[in-house]
Amino acid sequence: MSGGGLLVAGTTSDAGKSVVTAGICRWLVRQGVKVAPFKAQNMSLNSFVTREGAEIGRAQAMQAQACRVEPTALMNPVLLKPGGERSSQVVLMGRPVGEMSARGYHGGRQERLLGTVLDCLERLRGTYDAVICEGAGSPAEINLRRTDIVNMGIARNAGLPVLVVGDIDRGGVFASFFGTVALLSPEDQKLVAGFLVNKFRGDVSLLEPGLEMLHGLTGRRTYGVLPFQHGLGIDEEDGLRVSLRGTVRESQVAAPVGEDVLRVAVCAVPLMSNFTDVDALAAEPGVVVRFVDRPEELADADLVVVPGTRGTVRALEWLRERGLADALRRRAAEGRPVLGICGGFQVLGEHIEDDVESRRGQVDGLGVLPVRVRFAREKTLTRPVGEALGETVEGYEIHHGVAEVLGGEAFLDGCRVGQTWGTHWHGSLESDAFRRAFLREVARAAGRRFVPAPDTSFAALREEQLDRLGDLIEQHADTDALWRLIESGAPTGLPFIPPGAPA
């Protein structure tokens, strides 16, 4: 017998589907329900490696943590990793199967994946009491409905009730709710049970007349109004959608333990991947993390991070175009701290031989680390454990580039020369003792009287965030009605709202 299920859709991208899904998962697991997350198809440069060596979206890994279960490829069978404006790498069941244009993908490949997606969902529903599915974008993308396997396509085939989330902070939420339903076919509309308002500021009583009118117009109720809260955007999918220059990663409110703060500048390279690596730095009291794209913004930074990227050669060109390449070379020569992670590690090396990603052949790197990189067709997907600065470090690797380290001091799988560090390991900074040792080294080199807090636990902070999401659902949603949806499906007799989907 299959377990219950729910599809969390949204009026737009970034409406809050990922965090609402995680919140519902955490609320359910606290009620003793055995629950799993699922997203049929994810487009993201923020990915994670499961214990069996499969690559999935970080949002689904975060949702699995909310469920207190180990993430697997079943939870995100299709991952699309953009490599430019018009093409993406297709990752199927955790393994890359090739590059494809958007036209090619929606022109037939996507439909052929529906069987795989439904099989994964059914396997999860056969194991768990409930599976909370996350949609993508909007379910009312009428140009893509025929090939849809992540919104109404999966809901129809699996008989899932649909909850539509809207971000009221953006405005126009009532029109968005109504329009989303009205652009769906009668068969799809039967599954749309109702709405959830996200990011509300103010007195809910002022919103209630609108919710009553929406119910009158659509025959569908609102299952909750979630208040706006800072610091809940964990493990975003599609990168920061605002301009990156000057954007500050949310930090702890606590004052620094030492006399100084530590300033971290992250180069906002194109196709930036796994920028969540710096969240562990931002979690430290007294560490300020910001994204930058101009060389003068490196001047007062105590540490510069060159993050991962899905386009290493393009990132090199961008660094040179903006004058950041010369600024990074100067920092390295002056012994001022620089950390390169994955693609950022690769650009710091002597040269790159790339016949896979950019197909540009041999390209000179910045030459600050004695490393040569050759891109292999097979992608490295591992969960390594090692030691650095006398502390145990865990991480995960996602890269085509194979590094040949020709000198320097060993540092994880990469190397260190002076105060320039490079590694392919994502997530290494989440190892608390190592992070503290690394920050002490950075502070010493930067001449800052910064002292890492002795008790910051990144894992505990992540658990607190997930519990806050669970609290949002428990305190501000009609959880009895939500459970009826999950257990029994969409209510019968929901009215059709014209005009419906175009022919």
Q: Which residues are part of the catalytic machinery? A: 342, 426
**For residue 432, what are its two tokens?**
């608390």
- Cα-trace Rg, the chain: 23
CB 114 within 8 A of CB 157: yes
**For residue 348, what are its two tokens?**
């710091």
**For residue 136, what are its two tokens?**
């993508």
Tell me how far apart the alpha carbons of residues 168 and 362 are, in angstroms, rounded to a whole number. 49
Tell me how far apart the alpha carbons of residues 158 and 458 are, in angstroms, rounded to a whole number. 37
How far apart, in Å, are the Cα atoms of 318 and each of 66, 267, 366, 374, 378?
A: 37, 10, 12, 20, 26
Which residues have a Cβ under 8 Å from the Cβ of 155 and sit 6 or more positions away?
7, 9, 139, 161, 162, 188, 191
The one-letter amino acid at 42: N
Specify the length of the chain in residues: 503
**For residue 444, what are its two tokens?**
């010493």
The burial of 250, by beta-carbon neighbours within 10 Å (0-12 exposed, 13-18 middle, 19 or more buried), is given as middle
Nearest Cα neighbor of 58 from 131, 158, 134, 112 is: 134
Q: Is 23 helix (H, G, I), strand (E, B) or coil?
A: helix
Tell me how far apart the alpha carbons of residues 338 and 318 are, in angstroms, rounded to a whole number. 18
Element holding 80 (H helix, E strand): strand 78-82
CB 7 within 8 A of CB 155: yes
DSSP 8-state code for residue 450: -
The burial of 471, by beta-carbon neighbours within 10 Å (0-12 exposed, 13-18 middle, 19 or more buried), is given as middle
Residue with tokens 């903006």: 322
Tell me how far apart the alpha carbons of residues 422 and 417 are, in angstroms, rounded to a whole number. 9
Query: 288 - beta bridge partners?
Result: 263
DSSP 8-state code for residue 96: E
Nearest Cα neighbor of 10 from 184, 162, 231, 203 is: 162
- Chain centroid offset of residue 306 CA: 18
Phi and psi of 289, rounded to 5°? Answer: -115, 125
